[in-house]
Structure 1
Amino acid sequence: MDDHGQDFPAAVRAVLAEAGFGESALGAEGVHVVEHARGVMVGWMPRELRELPSRRRGPRRTRSGGRRDLPGLRHAFGLALAAAFRAAGFSVETRGDEWLLVVRPGSVSSPARPTA
């Protein structure tokens, strides 16, 4: 890619940093940025979500060892990221529950193409 091609991912990372979301290392939990043909994919990959404190009524229940993924939390995080990118003037598309595609200016959208 030329230098101009590197400007867009850098701009996406700058919006993330300004919004308080630092990019995580490869394989670590957190926010990830992946270059895409039409722009940059941004997603949140939690390794594990710890059990949130709740008011307990009655005897203490045993904790399950399985991972609890909170769809509401993931959705809220996606909305916050999309709002930050849109406020910065970027176009954003949703890619499933885990990824946003921040579209490179001038990228042609084709409804016949499968979503990544």
Structure 2
Amino acid sequence: MDDQEAEVLLVRVRWALAQLGFEEIATGAEGVHLIEHARGVMIGWIPQDITPPRRPEPRRNQPPDPDPELSGLRRAFGLALAAALRGAGFTVETREDEWLLVLDTFTDKP
């Protein structure tokens, strides 16, 4: 993907996110992040204004809960966002690192 194609894809992804009610936020802030990638656009999310639920103290000899960073909520948000982007016509790869990779499906390549 050349620089012009990458820029067009980034603009289209930003527009689609805005239509879906998501706004890109500044670096270091909470919310939806977009990063240019060699294959497309990476989208990540940092929850904002969410207080983790209070968990009871673990019983003796029981390991602590391994989910202190709301990974279930992050996963659900990622799946919903991926489905919405797919509905907008993009190809989206979900990644184990909780980022989505949006690929350009509108460019015809030989």
Q: Classify the TM-score, shorter chain.
A: 0.7 to 0.9
- Cα separation, 1, equivalents of 2:108 and 2:101: 12
Whether the 8 Å contact between 1:93 and 1:100 is mirrored in structure 2 is yes
Report the AA paired with residue 93 of structure 2: E
TM-score after normalising by structure 2:
0.73
The equivalent residue for 1:95 is 95
The change in CA–CA distance for 1:47 and 1:88 in structure 2 (over 3 A counts) is closer
TM-score normalised per structure 1: 0.70
- Aligned match of 2:27: 26
1:25 Cα deviation (Å)? Answer: 0.3
**How far did residue 45 of structure 1 move?**
2.1
User: Alpha carbons of 1:93 and 1:34: their partners in 2 closer, same or farther (altered >3 Å)?
Assistant: same
Percent identity of paired positions between Structure 1 and Structure 2: 55
Mapped to 1, the partners of 2:69 and 2:6 lie a distance apart of 35
Mapping for residues 17-56 of structure 1, pairs under 5 Å: 17-46=18-47, 49-52=50-53
Structure 2: gaps spanning 5 or more residues = 55-67
Change (3 A) 1:27 1:107: farther
Contact 2:33/2:45, CA 8 A, preserved across alignment: yes
* Number of the residue aligned with 1:81: 81
Distance in 2 (CA, whole Å) between partners of 1:97 and 1:14 is: 24
Cα RMSD (Å)? 2.8
Cα distance in 2 for partners of 1:97, 1:48 equals 22
1:16 matched to which residue of 2?
17
Partner Cα distance (1:5, 1:80) in 2: 24
Deviation of 1:104 after TM superposition, in Å, equals 2.1
Q: Which runs of 5+ in 1 are unaligned?
A: 54-67, 109-116
Does residue 70 of structure 2 align to residue 70 of structure 1? yes
State the shift of 1:48 in Å.
7.4
Moved over 6 A (4+): none
8 Å CA contact 1:91–1:102 kept in 2: the answer is yes
